[in-house]
Amino acid sequence: MVFKHGKIAGDPEPFKKLLKKFEEENPGIKVKDEILPASTDEQHQFYVINLEGKSPDFDVLSMDVIWVPEFARAGWLKDLSLILSKNEQKEFFLGPMLAVTFKDKIYAIPWYIDAGVLYYRKDLLQKYGFSPPKTWQELVDIAQYITSRESGLYGFIWQGKQYEGLVCNVLEYFWSNGGDVLRDEISVIKSPENVDALHFMRDLIVKYKITPPLVTTAIEEPTRHIFGNGKALFMRNWPYAWNIFEKESSAIKGKVGVFPLPSFPNKESASTLGGWQLGINRYSKHPDAAEKLIKFFTSPEAQKTLALTIGYKPTRKSLYKDKDLLMKQPFIIGLYDVFMKARPRPVSPYYIMITQVIQPEFSAAISGIKTPEEALNSAHKQIEHILRVER
């Protein structure tokens, strides 16, 4: 049996040990693990080409949150509703469960979870007597106050290059203002809430001047470097950066705090959901063994091991009360509230096509090439065209 997945972050040894344990517990099943390129676009391309060709060469596959509806719609995934009972589903976070559900059936089991969070400089906020911001306006005020008193410090950095990460960033502003992209498979992208939210993002750069224009070309790593060198007060990023900031050699070790992202007044904060799910190839010749492997890797024990060793965040809520994890990985436990509120990107088989047309529009709006109204109107038209594709 073959298990396909992306590169394991950090040390692959703990993962190999888990595989060995699975083989010992299930005599007669041999698992070959095969690693795909790190770029998620390439992984997507690999799966699409092979599944379209009905390839039985792999049995278990790991999928990004945004792929499941697309693959399920194409009929490439085995229905897993039976191996995950209604009661067991409640043990998982809601966001990833929504992402793996397509037309009331479950096509994958959440393996580990990711979501956008706000990093802040604990030391600087303390120095000037601030607590972490709850609304976007508070964040602007704090950043303006502190950056005018500290030299060589950016206020707030995030990811604004034209790529998938930009969509993740923009959605967090939409949602935290009560907006969305799709509702009941109809585009609602040009709502006033979204226009305001996008205006605010542009204003961060040109009006409030707390965000440097360099974010319009930045992806995760450059922003992580800037923050890691102590040159920014706030940063939006994924939880992976935490372990790097806490290394001995880090310039800001012990000075970093993490908080849920702010929201607009009287609205709910929201993070974009990331993470990976395990599913079974419908053309697999060993579906029973594949089922066992998925159950094993999404079990509380395996998730706990991976959280302790390589910092993968568990998708099961109960693990966030676990004593060992609390002792050794208090940071992960602290993310519970963020994961509870994390939302999947539009759950639609058309998502891959939709993101292709909204990326350039968002990029145009934040770099000032189009006004937010123009960008969202144009995005709306293109999304409607995509949704009509099957008619």
Partner 1 sequence: MRNGEGGNRFVIPALILLSFVTIYPIIYVFYLSIHRKLLIFDISRFVGFENYLFLLKDDRFWNALKNTAYFTGVSVSLELLFGLYIALLLNMSFRLKGLIRAIVLIPWAIPTVVSARMWEWIYNTDFGILNYIVGTKINWLGSPFWAMNAAVFMDVWKTTPFVAILLMAGLQVIPRELYQAARVDGAGNWATFRRITLPLLKPVILVVLIFRTLDAFRVFDAIYVLTGGGPANTTETLSIYAYKVLFQTLQFGYGSTLSVIVFLCIGCISIFYIRILSRGMNRRSRSK
Say whether residue 186 binds partner 1 (CB under 8 A): no
x-marked contacts with partner 1 along 26-65 as a string, rule CB under 8 A = ---------------x--xx--x---x-------------
CB burial of residue 94 (10 Å; 0-12, 13-18, 19+): middle
x-marked contacts with partner 1 along 344-363 as a string, rule CB under 8 A = -----x--xx--x--xxx-x
Say whether residue 387 binds partner 1 (CB under 8 A): no
* 318 strand-pairing partners: none
Say whether residue 180 binds partner 1 (CB under 8 A): no
x-marked contacts with partner 1 along 296-335 as a string, rule CB under 8 A = ----------------------------------------
Write down the least CB distance from residue 274 to partner 1, Å: 18
Say whether residue 251 binds partner 1 (CB under 8 A): no
Which of the residues 363 through 382 are near partner 1 (CB under 8 A)?
363-364, 367, 369-370, 378
Say whether residue 126 binds partner 1 (CB under 8 A): no
Say whether residue 74 binds partner 1 (CB under 8 A): yes
106 closest CA partner among 277, 328, 321? 277
Nearest residue (CB) to partner 1, 52 versus 88? 52
Say whether residue 73 binds partner 1 (CB under 8 A): yes
Nearest residue (CB) to partner 1, 21 versus 73? 73
Nearest residue (CB) to partner 1, 81 versus 356? 356
Which of the residues 146 through 175 are near partner 1 (CB under 8 A)?
161-163
Terminal alpha carbon distance of the chain: 39
Cα–Cα distances in angstroms (integers) from residue 90 to residues 15, 95, 152, in the given order: 26, 11, 47
Nearest residue (CB) to partner 1, 18 versus 386? 386
x-marked contacts with partner 1 along 204-223 as a string, rule CB under 8 A = --------xxx-xx----x-
Residues forming contacts to partner 1 in the complex (CB under 8 A) are 41, 44-45, 48, 52, 70, 73-75, 161-163, 212-214, 216-217, 222, 225-226, 349, 352-353, 356, 359-361, 363-364, 367, 369-370, 378, 389-390
